[in-house]
Structure 1
Amino acid sequence: MTYAMLNAYSVSFCLLPLGALLFDILIGDPRTSFHPVALIGRMISLFEKSLLKPHASSFMKKTSGGLLVFLVLTLTYEIIWYVCTCLDKLDTWEAVVGRALLLSLAISPRSLAEAGFEIRHYLVKKNIKEARRKVGWIVGRDTGHLSAGEVTRATVETVAENIVDGVIAPLFFAALGGVPLAFLYRAVNTLDSMVGYKNEKYSDFGMIAARTDDIFNYIPARITGLLLLGAVCLLRLDIVSAVKTFWHDASKHPSPNSGIPESIVAGALHIQLGGVNYYGGIPSHRATMGQADEALTSDHIKKTVWLMYVTTLLFVLIYAGGSFYLYYSSGSF
C-alpha cells in the first residue's frame, strides 16, 4: 500500500463518523426489508425457531440463548467484514464513501428525530388517537389509552434512551474497531430488543442477550452522559437540575445504562419520567426520575430531539478531532 493510500485511509478513519452522520441526515434510514438491521432481526428469528424449546430446562434455555448470541454476533461481524473487504478493492475514496454509507445504516438520529416530531405533530393537532398509534411503533408498552402527557413521556423516554443505543454506542464501537464492530454492536442491541425480556418465554433464553447488551452499553452510556450534560449547557437548559437528577435517580432505572440519559433529560427539562406502564394489560411500575415541575407537553419532545442531535454532533466532532490530532502528532500526515 502506498504512502498516499495510507494517508487516505488515515483521513478516512477520521472522517468516517462525520460522513456517516451526513449520510444519515441527507438520506435517513431506508425502510426496506434488506436493511442490515432488519436482516439481523430475521437471522435472530430464524435461529430462535430452532434453538428455543419451550419445555426445556432453565439451564438448557440459557445455553441455547448463549448459542444464539454467539451465532448471530459471529455471522454479523464476518458478513460486514467481508463487505468492507470488498469495498477496499475499490478506489480509496470510493471505499471511504462506501464505509461511511454503511456505517450510516448502523445509526439512527434522523429516524429518532422523525419519529419524535411526527408524534409531536399529532399532539399539537390534538389528534391523540394517531399519536397513540404512532408511539406504539417505538415503544413496547400498551398505548391505546395513553393521555397526551403519557404519550409525551413515552416518546421522551424512548428518544433519550436511544441516544445511547441508536447513536453513540455504534459510533463508539466504530471508533474501536471500524464498521464491522459497529454492526456487531447493533446485533447485540437487536438481540436484546427481540429476546432480552424478563417474561415467561424469554427470562432464561434471553438472559445472556440482555447481559451482553448491558456490558456493551456500559461505557457508551457513560460517555453519552458526559456529552449530554455538555449538550444541556450548549442549549442553555438547567445543568444543575440535570446533574442533581442524574446523581439521585439514574440508578433507580432497571437498566444500569438507560437511567443515565433519561435522568439527565428529566432534570434538564424539569419533567418526571418513569411511573406506571401497561404491558398486555398488566401494570408495571418503574421508579420515577426527576420532579414534575412542568407538565409534560409536546415541546419536551422537541427539546429532547435537539439534545440528541447536539450530543451526537459533540461525539462526532471529538472523534474526528481526536483522530486527526493522533495521526498528526504521530507524523502520519
Structure 2
Amino acid sequence: MTVVYAALCGFVIDLLLGDPAWMPHPVVFMGRCISALEKLLRRIFPKTPKGELAGGVILAAVLPLGTLALTGLCVWGLGLIHPALSFALQVLWCWQALAAKGLRQESDNVRRALVTGTLDDARKAVSRIVGRDTAALSREGVIRAAVETVAENFSDGVVAPLFWMLLGGAPLALAYKAVNTMDSMVGYKNDRYLYFGRAAAKLDDAANWLPSRLAALLLVAAAPLIGQNAGRAFAIWRRDRRKHASPNSAQTESAMAGALGVRLAGPASYFGKIHQKPWIGDDTRPIEPEDITRAGRMLYAGSVLALLLLCGARLGILALIL
C-alpha cells in the first residue's frame, strides 16, 4: 500500500507543480553519469565494432542497476530512521519520475508560439521536446512534431514510469528513467552510436514494450472523454502501430493520429539526414495548432486512466496474495 500511496501523491504533485526549474532532477545526474561512463568506456575498450558493443553493454548494465541499488538503499536506510522519511523520499522520486504537466506545458508553449509568435519562435519551442532537426520545419511540421512527442512521451513519461513504479516502487521507476535517459543520449543509429548505443536502445525497447501498448489502448479509451473518436483511434492503431523502426513509438502515435483524424510521422531530418519514415494515420483534414491542445487533453485523460488502472491492478494482486 505504501507504493500505491506514494504513486498517488507523486502523480498529484506532478499535475500541480510539474518540474520546477530550481529543483535538482535525478535525470540530470543520470545524464552526467552517462557522459562520464561513455568517456571512460571509450578509453578502456578498443575503437572497433566489438569493442564499442562491449562498452555499450557495460553502460546499459551499470547505470540502471546502479540506480536501482542506490535509490533502493536510500529508501531502505531512511526507513530504518523513520517510515515517514522513507515514504517522503518515495513520493519525491515518484513525482520526479513522471512528466505529464511538464510535457503539457512544453507542448502548449509550441501552440502559443504558433498562434501569437513567429514560425521561428515555434521551431525553437518544439526543439526543446523533439530530437529531430527543427530549423527547416514548416508550420504543419512543427504542429505534427509537437503532437507526436505528446503521444510518444505519454508512454515514456507517464505510463511506463507508473507501470514500473507500481511494480517496484520509486527505485524501479528511476531505474526505468535511467534506461530511457540512456536511449535518449546514446541510442542513435549514427556513426558515433551505431554500436556503442545498441544495448541501451534494445534495453529501452524491452522496458517499453508492454507499457507502450498499454498506453496506446489508454489513448483509445481517453479519446471519447475529450470528444474525439475512439473507434477511429482503435482502427488506425491496429493498422499503423508497426509503422516505425522502433517497435514501440508507433503504438501511441497511431492511436493519437486516429483519435484526432490527422496524419503524423512521415519524412524527418535527424543530424542532417532525411529519414523516410512512413506516414501514420489518414490525411482527413489539415493539422492545426488546436490539435496540440487536443493531444494535451488526451494526455491528461489517459494519465488519470493509467493511474486508476495500474493502482487497481496492484491492489487486486495484493488482495489475491493476502
- Give me the TM-score of the superposition, normalised by structure 2: 0.94
Distance in 2 separating the partners of 1:278 and 1:324 = 45
Structure 1 residue aligned with 2:268:
277
1:42 and 2:37 are equivalent in the alignment? no
Does the Cα contact within 8 Å between 1:113 and 1:305 map onto a contact in 2?
yes
Deviation, 1:90, is: 4.8
Does the Cα contact within 8 Å between 2:230 and 2:259 map onto a contact in 1?
yes
Q: Deviations over 1:285-319 (max 9, x none)?
A: 11100111121111111111111111111111123
Deviation, 1:274, is: 1.1
Cα RMSD, aligned residues only: 1.8
Alignment partner for residue 26 of structure 1, among 16, 19, 22?
16
Unaligned segments of structure 1, at least 5 residues: 1-9
Distance in 1 separating the partners of 2:288 and 2:80 = 51
**Structure 2 SS opposite 1:297:** coil
Distance in 2 separating the partners of 1:88 and 1:99 = 11
**Structure 1 SS opposite 2:135:** coil
Q: How does 1:76-95 map to 2 (within 5 A)?
A: 76-95=67-86
**Structure 2 SS opposite 1:215:** helix
**Structure 1 SS opposite 2:245:** coil
**Structure 2 SS opposite 1:52:** helix
Deviation, 1:86, is: 3.1
Q: How does 1:1-333 map to 2 (within 5 A)?
A: 10=1, 12-31=2-21, 34-52=24-42, 56-327=47-318
Deviation, 1:69, is: 1.1
Relative to structure 1, the CA distance from residue 57 to residue 324 in structure 2 (aligned partners, 3 Å threshold; closer, same or farther) is: closer
**More deviation, 231-240/168-177:** 231-240
**More deviation, 37-46/142-151:** 142-151
Does the Cα contact within 8 Å between 1:170 and 1:186 map onto a contact in 2?
yes
**Structure 2 SS opposite 1:166:** helix
Matched residues, number? 321
Unaligned segments of structure 2, at least 5 residues: none
Write the letter of the residue equivalent to 1:131. A
- Give me the TM-score of the superposition, normalised by structure 1: 0.91
Does the Cα contact within 8 Å between 1:228 and 1:311 map onto a contact in 2?
yes
Does the Cα contact within 8 Å between 1:271 and 1:294 map onto a contact in 2?
yes
Does the Cα contact within 8 Å between 2:154 and 2:299 map onto a contact in 1?
yes
Q: Deviations over 1:255-299 (max 9, x none)?
A: 101111000000110110111212233222111001111211111
Aligned residues with identical type, % of pairs: 35
Distance in 1 separating the partners of 2:318 and 2:234 = 35
